[in-house]
Amino acid sequence: MTSMNRVLIIGAGAAGSVVAKKCAMNTDVFKHIHLASRRLESCLAVQKECASPITVSEVDGDDTAQVIALIEKQKPDLLINMALPYQDLTLMDACLATGVHYMDTANYEPREEAKFAYHWQWAYQERFKEKGLMAILGCGFDPGVTNVFCAYARDHLFDAIEFIDIIDCNDGNHGKAFATNFNPEINLREVTQHGKYWKDGQWIEVDPVSISCMIDYPEVGPRKSYLIYHEEEESLVQNIPGLKQIRFWMTFSDNYIKHMEVLQNVGLTRIDPVMYNGTPIVPIQFLKHLLPAPSSLAENYTGKTSIGCVIQGHKDEKPKTIVIYNICDHAASFHEVKAQAVSYTTGVPPVVGAMMLFSGQWQGKGVFNVEQLPAEPFLKELARQGLPWHVRDIEGAQPLGLLP
């Protein structure tokens, strides 16, 4: 294998800027870093804050031909997609056309329907395999690190896993009346769609944010959490054998829920075009421009995130329950890369994934979710790169929440 050291990052938003800055801190691995986005000024702003030189350019991620031309000019070994989920397929097409490995942090979602799923990207399996390329899907935090936590537990801590509860708490305060911690359009599309979880071999759908329970988050304490659907559930059901149930829980403040309900009621979360003064506009895209940009929240953000997996199963024929988790501090993230913790926890894992690919510790041909790849080297490097993780045994625990 020829040595790989050239990376192309597409997307210069809050998390994309973290990817670029962390790559620039690891010049022993990344010899050439190129950042491209629809807005050149965003790339230039990130470029000024990088610890070592990176190059930048403007590109439309929806235009495969433009991306192909950029790849042919920059000659990367890997394209890291930090753009929106809408661009996943066009960027995968560009990678296939140019013989470049692909990585993203969120699965494909069509603009016209708030329904993300992996089947569009899994359909690329044979094409990537034939080209001898890797497409690594969902290498953020959740999905991403949460998947790797489950894989590590599967491979090292359990003989059999039966229950997984992925728990995500942002116990931070940005001081704004209402704001989202990542792209507002994607965030609101995710939360306002129906919840879903896997139990006894089938998917069970529930109304949006209709089920909640109190969860005791490591190093944070009890917080009200809502059951929502999240994409890693779809792949973990396939890759954790014997799984009886998997759910995803996320904290939302009463203030967030109140604002979301009002925005829904007045139609501002609609994703279909409406006519305004003879011009079609998509309400949620207009709302996105009214809300604070996630990157603007970082400077005065206080508190921390607590994200992990509560996993139940058996080891040596005895019941076993653990929580495996990471704590990330908003102020510390800002001090290091001028980003809040949600952007930091999303941006560091693809850098680590790229290191795994470049070093040959992650190898393969085709399309992979990260739990299909070696967990231990990834987690060791993740801790070195600023996201330490912890495993705690839980005695006598029952599956979280009480669901029918």
- Burial of 243 from C-beta contacts in 10 A (0-12 / 13-18 / 19+): buried
Q: Is the domain of 197 the same as that of 77? A: no
Could you tell me if residue 366 is inside a domain?
yes
Find the CATH number of the domain harbouring 265: 3.30.360.10
Predicted local distance difference test score (pLDDT) of residue 170? 95
Could you tell me if residue 16 is inside a domain?
yes
Q: Is the domain of 306 the same as that of 321? A: yes
Could you tell me if residue 235 is inside a domain?
yes
- H or E stretch including 353? helix 341-359
Is residue 401's pLDDT more than 50? no
Is residue 396's pLDDT more than 70? no
Is residue 249 a contact partner of residue 400, using CB atoms and an 8 Å limit? Answer: yes
Predicted local distance difference test score (pLDDT) of residue 66? 97
Q: Is the domain of 125 the same as that of 163? A: no
Per-residue model confidence as pLDDT tens digits over 151-203: 999 999 999 999 999 999 999 888 888 888 767 777 787 888 889 999 999 99
Q: Is the domain of 134 the same as that of 154? A: no
Q: How far is CA 156 from the centre of its chain?
A: 24
Helix/strand/coil for 35? strand
Is residue 303 a contact partner of residue 171, using CB atoms and an 8 Å limit? Answer: yes
Beta strand 245-251 pairing with 195-199: antiparallel
Please identify which residue in the block is written with the tokens 């050291």. Answer: 5
Is residue 386's pLDDT more than 60? yes
- H or E stretch including 126? helix 125-131
Find the CATH number of the domain harbouring 76: 3.40.50.720
Per-residue model confidence as pLDDT tens digits over 43-83: 999 999 999 999 999 999 999 999 999 999 999 999 999 99
Could you tell me if residue 403 is inside a domain?
no
Q: Is the domain of 178 the same as that of 327? A: yes
Per-residue model confidence as pLDDT tens digits over 111-142: 877 678 999 999 999 999 999 999 999 999 99
Q: How confident is the model at residue 41 (pLDDT cuts 50, 70, 90)?
A: very high
Q: Is the domain of 161 the same as that of 273? A: yes
Nearest to 248 by CA among 351, 166, 127: 166
Is residue 195 a contact partner of residue 209, using CB atoms and an 8 Å limit? Answer: yes
Could you tell me if residue 399 is inside a domain?
no
Alpha helices in 136-294 (DSSP H): 145-152, 184-192, 232-239, 254-265, 283-290
Give how many domains the chain has, as a whole number. 2
Neighbours of 310 (CB within 10 A): 24
Q: Is the domain of 199 the same as that of 251? A: yes
Domain membership of residue 151 as a residue range: 145-337+387-393
Q: Is the domain of 170 the same as that of 54? A: no
Q: Is the domain of 212 the same as that of 80? A: no
Q: Is the domain of 356 the same as that of 264? A: no
Neighbours of 150 (CB within 10 A): 27
Separation CA 176–CA 178 (nearest Å):
5
Which is higher by pLDDT, 84 or 354? 354
Name the phi and psi angles at 369, rounded to 5. Answer: -90, 150
**Weakest mean pLDDT among 182-186, 223-227, 242-246, 395-399:** 395-399
Predicted local distance difference test score (pLDDT) of residue 402? 37
Could you tell me if residue 281 is inside a domain?
yes
Q: Is the domain of 333 the same as that of 368? A: no
Could you tell me if residue 49 is inside a domain?
yes
Could you tell me if residue 401 is inside a domain?
no
Q: What is the mean pLDDT of the chain?
A: 93
Q: Is the domain of 309 the same as that of 186? A: yes
Is residue 1's pLDDT more than 70? no
Per-residue model confidence as pLDDT tens digits over 291-321: 888 778 878 899 999 999 999 999 999 999 9
